[in-house]
Amino acid sequence: MDTIKQYIEKNKNRFITELIDLLKIPSISADPAFSQDVLNTADSIMKALKEAGCDKVELCETPGYPIIYGEKIIDPNLPTVLVYGHYDVQPADPLDLWDAPPFEPVIKKTELHPDGAIFARGACDDKGQMYMHVKALEYMTSEGNLPCNVKFMIEGEEEVGSESLAWFVPKNVEKLANDVILISDTGMIANDIPSITTGLRGLSYVEVEVTGPNRDLHSGLYGGAVANPINILSKMIASLHDENNHITIPGFYDKVENLSQEERNEMAKAPFSLESYKNALDIDDVYGEEGYTTNERNSIRPTLDVNGIWGGYTGEGAKTVIASKAYAKISMRLVPNQDWEEITTLFKSHFESIAPDSVKVKVTPHHGGQGYVTPIDSIGYQAASKAYQETFGVTPIPQRSGGSIPIVALFEKELKSKTILMGFGLNSDAIHSPNEHFGIWNYLKGIETIPYFYKYFSELHK
């Protein structure tokens, strides 16, 4: 029988080729132009799960993109691990900022990935990380050492809010019954400093529209006499933070959980260099809420950010105009206990209340989700920790992430189980950005670590 290390050594070229083939399909869920590609990706996942040894694989139709479900039940008395991942990816634009086309994967070495990294949209988020689980399953089934039952649920709408999955999960509580949920869709601190994600932020995403006059106006004839929606929108947005970078929406912080100084001290022990952080982003200074460190600002504190703003003339040259309308897309990252629907309502009423009478304001909520925290004394966390110790040789650090996977809170509510977030990407892997990549070392390390999670989870479950 091969150990996982030997198995990887023998099969790694095939593992890489298979992932590259998956990355060639542009499964962009946000853009209907790619719907056939999203569907084709779902088919590929089905095939991969069958080949990896699932006994039953199903394409579950939903009002949106299908959910791929697969399982291998070896003994109903043994514990069950439910693996979740997503096969959809973010849009690839701006395309001209990619060094190679986003759906023609290339392998290149980087400073942090001396063994090479696969560059493609979805390489890290989440095709590469999801596929590690498929290959880990292949190892366990082909070597006959799968120690427990396994279920896979891979969706195609994570990047657009998981609406169909939120519809599917409550209807399939029995089918999805499990003892722990395992997800690789986050990151870790560094290749020699593994970490396990213990928290995710929630999200409220809104779009605002400010309307001034009923048509675009000559800025000389009307300028100064009527409200310019772009000026007004800018002022309104600026007023959403005070001089200490606190968010000014009344009630916004009411439910924010304040961590004890002890917990904050514990968090501060995670290795972090402000200098390299600034260098990597080419900024002279960081910026954020008064009284909190960089790592606190992007994990345990809520935020409000404009994600896009538009209106008026943005073409070549100059056009003297006062636009009739101005728009912005705004996201708020939330922390556990803040309810995203409540925050959306607070935002809406505040934003409407600060608008002067000279404009009309429309706030349209997009999607959202609750934050998540998971304890480190669960057997799931302990099993993950032991798995990393086995393959990295060090104890992983628990760390809260700033990103969101809104469906995780719903899993806990509906399926009553904890999620373990074993991410193998790095923050510098440029997810959602041009030149997204995933280290080959990280990909193979993930495949190597996952079977140990199964092993230790089954042992600790007894």
Return residues touching Mn ion (CB under 5 A): 125-126, 185
**Which amino acid belongs to residue 98?**
W
Q: Rank residues 125 and 138 by Cβ distance to Mn ion and give the closer one.
A: 125
Q: How far apart are CA 308 and CA 312, in angstroms?
A: 14
Task: Tell the smallest beta-carbon distance from residue 316 to ligand BES (Å).
Answer: 33
Span of 32-40, 236-244, 291-299, 398-406 interacting with ligand BES by CB under 6 A: 398-406
Kindly give the pairing relationship between strand 397-400 and strand 195-200. Answer: parallel
Q: Which is nearer to ligand BES, 358 or 364 (CB)?
A: 364
Question: Residue 179: which of ligand BES, Mn ion, none does it interact with, CB under 5 to 8 A by kind?
Answer: none
Among 138, 84, 79, CA closest to 456: 79
Cβ-defined contacts of 171-178 (< 8 Å, 24+): 172/60, 173/414, 173/415, 175/69, 176/82, 176/151, 176/415, 177/80, 177/415, 178/80, 178/81, 178/82, 178/151, 178/415, 178/417
Other CB atoms within 10 A of residue 58 CB: 15
Contact by Cβ (8 Å): 207, 364: yes
Dihedral sign from CA coordinates of 5, 192, 116, 85: positive
**Applying CB under 6 A, which of residues 165, 247, 330, 405 lies at the interface with ligand BES?**
405
Q: Provide, rounded to whole angstroms, the least separation between the CB of residue 23 and ligand BES.
A: 15
Restricted to residues 146-175, the positions that interact with ligand BES (CB under 6 A) are 158-159, 161
Minimum CB distance to ligand BES, residue 438 (Å): 12
Using DSSP's 3-state secondary structure scheme, residue 203 falls into strand
On whether the CB atoms of residues 28 and 88 are closer than 8 A, the answer is: yes
The helix (run of H) or strand (run of E) holding residue 421 is strand 419-421
Q: Output 241 or 329, the one with its CB closest to Mn ion.
A: 329
Of 399 and 458, CB closest to ligand BES: 399
- Closest by CA position to 73, among listed 156, 172, 152: 152
Residues in the chain: 462
Residue 436 interaction partner, one of ligand BES, Mn ion, none, beta carbon < 5-8 Å per kind: none
Which one-letter amino acid corresponds to residue 351? F
- Binders of ligand BES among residues 189 to 228 (CB under 6 A) are 200, 203
| Stretch in the footprint of ligand BES (CB under 6 A) among 317-325, 339-347, 402-410, 449-457 | 402-410
- Residue closest to 135 by CA, chosen among 449, 406, 459, 457: 449
Of 64, 229, 396, 403, the one binding ligand BES (CB under 6 A) is 403
Residue with Cβ nearer ligand BES (89 or 210): 89
Residue among 123 and 240 whose Cβ is closer to Mn ion = 123
Q: Which of 18, 125, 179, 436 binds ligand BES (CB under 6 A)?
A: 125
Taking the least distance from each CB to Mn ion, the nearer of 212 and 423 is: 423
Looking at the Cβ atoms of 18 and 159, the one nearer to Mn ion is 159
Cβ(372)–Cβ(419) below 8 Å: yes
Binding at 88: pick from ligand BES, Mn ion, none (beta carbon under 5-8 Å per type):
none
Total binding residues toward ligand BES, as defined by CB under 6 A: 16
Q: Which 338-397 residues touch ligand BES, going by CB under 6 A? A: 367
Residue 252 or 443: which CB sits closer to Mn ion?
443
The item of Mn ion, ligand BES, none sharing an interface with residue 246, based on CB under 5 to 8 Å by kind, is none
Q: DSSP label at 395?
A: P
Strand pairing partners for 180?
A: 81
Answer for which of 44, 149, 401, 458 binds ligand BES (CB under 6 A) is: 401
Using the rule CB under 6 A, give the single segment among 185-193, 252-260, 283-291, 317-325 that binds ligand BES: 185-193
Q: Does 22 bind ligand BES (CB under 6 A)?
A: no
Taking residue 87's Cβ as centre, other Cβ atoms within 10 Å add up to 28
Residue with tokens 């790619």: 34
What are φ and ψ of residue 295, in 5° steps?
-65, -30
Binding test (CB under 6 A) with ligand BES, winner from 41, 164, 404, 417: 404
Select 154 or 440, whichever has its Cβ closest to Mn ion. Answer: 154
Q: How far is the CB of 290 from Mn ion (least distance, A)?
A: 30
Residues that bind ligand BES (CB under 6 A): 125-126, 158-159, 161, 185-187, 200, 203, 367, 401, 403-406
